[in-house]
Structure 1
Amino acid sequence: MKQYIVLFLSILLFSCSSDSDELIKEVSIKINFTQNWDGASFEKSDLSNTELTNKLGTKLTIDKLRYLVSKITLTDAADKATIFEGYKLIDLSDEESLVFNPSLKITEGNYSLAITFGFNNDDNIDGEYADLNTASWNVPMMLGGGYHFMQLDGKYKDDVPNENPYNFHVIRAYNTTTSIPEDTSFIVNLGSVNIKSDANIEVKMNIAEWFKNPNDWDLNEKNTNLMIDFDAQKEMSANGKSGVFSLGTISQ
């Protein structure tokens, strides 16, 4: 009789274990970074071609757009955070760079998605990342070292109208008078995602938002040499926090 009881319990435990294994499902995610100008898609083919108008009415084109995100994080209902390895340098001229495809898997469920724009101070270590060094992503030591957060380059038309260059480069703000840097990276909380299977998640950048809200950006006054402008860097960071990034479609 004891043998039958032991056999029954073994079968029951195996059955429960199998059911638990079936209930716990691991899935993969991909994050697709897309760009737009106030809702109108902006892609590689638009570089140096498509004329845009910012909030102040200035006409401009974009020749280069590169930006870095790090600490891509999914946090579940129990406040357990999954931080995906590494960082991602997005280059609009390189379509392969627009997709972040981590090897780490997660269990299905409801999550909050967040990203860090740029590197925070702990990660912004001068010369630390070989691929970023190769990509000429470094910031000169005279400006505190470390790495860029974004390079947005192009041309704008003044009131004449003449065409002039602009270099909207975002870095850690550096006070050249005191030689003290200020961490101007920021975390973007993109909202909730319900992951039921392998998922493609879109993260959208509205490029137009960099030139407005809360600071209307006058390219006639602030166009080049912005990396050495401590106040300009803080204004860029403030604009970036105010709606540049948003959650797009989720397909699974």
Structure 2
Amino acid sequence: MKKTFSILFILSLFIISCSSNSDETIQNKKITINFIHEWDGTPVTKDDFGELKFTNENGEMVSIELYRYVISNIKLVDPSGFETPLKDYLFIDLGEEQNLSYTIEGLFLDRTYSLDFTFGFDDDDNTDGAYADLNTANFNVPEMLGGGYHYMQFDGKYTSETQTTEAGFNYHAIRAVDNTDPDNIVYQDTSFSVSLEGNWLKSTEEVINVKVNIAEWFKNPNTWDLNELNQMLMPNFDAQVLMNANGKTVFSL
């Protein structure tokens, strides 16, 4: 009887020890998310700015002068739909190398998750003047266009067969607005959700590499013609809807 009790006691200590170690692993997850920018497989960094070195789907030569954007409501979602929030939003600036990598520690995770976020802000979060760092960065949208914030500012220059000298473009994504009739202004939320499924969370430290293919803004599903759509895109309702469609293939793993 005493021998049996001793064996059971040792086994219970072993089980508790294993459970404790497992819980410690689960509760001390460290997630690092890297945003890796490219142009159809060619890495893009701030060192590539200012040169006509990229070719878009329409055949124009393109340079990048500014590339910065917001993603919001960043979270991990398990197969049952349970959400683990990571951050309210990130302001990513490629030229300034700002927030190209984000790390969060002390997570309680024990299964495979997808990484979900919103490109830009949805209407509930797109509150005028609410974010101090975005105000400082002049990321605001003018009140006449509905206020709130940009989703993205993508500036550069281009040349083409018909535009042989360098011309500028401002590919700025915001909430679409049609204010041609001041008494009947039409708004459309053109932010969009991204869900990236991966086989992560097998160890205490995980790295998620998010590929950001800048070229996709110009090609899928709409081939973008910079000769036609280059400036004054913020008040262009139809252009904002096209950007929304093209942006949905920009992010991948």
Mark yes or no: TM-score above 0.5: yes
Between the aligned partners of 1:175 and 1:160, the Cα distance in structure 2 is 29
Residue-by-residue CA offset, 1:28-77 (whole Å, 9 max, x unaligned): 10111111111111111001025211111111111110011111221123
Q: CA deviation at 1:87?
A: 0.8
- Output the CA distance in 1 between the equivalents of 2:90 and 2:17: 38
* Structure 1 residue runs without a partner (length 5+): 248-252
2:172 pairs with one of 145, 169, 172? 169
Is residue 52–residue 157 contact of structure 2 (8 Å, CA) maintained in 1?
no
Would you say 1:185 and 2:164 are equivalent positions? no
Gaps of 5+ in 2: none
**Per-residue deviation, 1:166:** 0.2
Give the TM-score, by structure 2 length: 0.89
User: CA RMSD of the aligned region, Å?
Assistant: 2.1
Given that 1:173 and 1:181 are in contact with CA atoms closer than 8 Å, whether structure 2 keeps it comes out as yes
| Aligned partners of 1:113 and 1:193 also within 8 Å | no
Structure 1 equivalent of residue 215 of structure 2: 208
CA drift of 1:122 comes to 0.9
1:99-138 matches, within 5 Å, as 99-103=101-105, 105-138=107-140
Alpha-carbon deviation of 1:94?
2.0
Question: Greater shift after overlay, 9-18 or 77-86?
Answer: 9-18
- Per the TM alignment, residue 13 of structure 1 is displaced from its structure 2 partner at its CA by 5.8
Q: TM-score, normalised by structure 1?
A: 0.89
Identity among equivalent pairs (%): 48
Asked whether the 8 Å contact 1:144–1:179 carries over to 2, the reply is no
CA 1:11–1:128 in structure 2 vs 1: closer, same or farther (change >3 Å)? Answer: farther
Question: Conserved in 1, the CA contact under 8 Å of 2:163 and 2:227?
Answer: no
Structure 1 residues 98 and 182, CA gap change in structure 2 (3 angstroms)? same
Q: Which amino acid aligns with 2:157?
A: K
- Mapping 1:37-48, distance limit 5 Å: 37-48=39-50
Alignment partner, residue 250 of structure 1? none
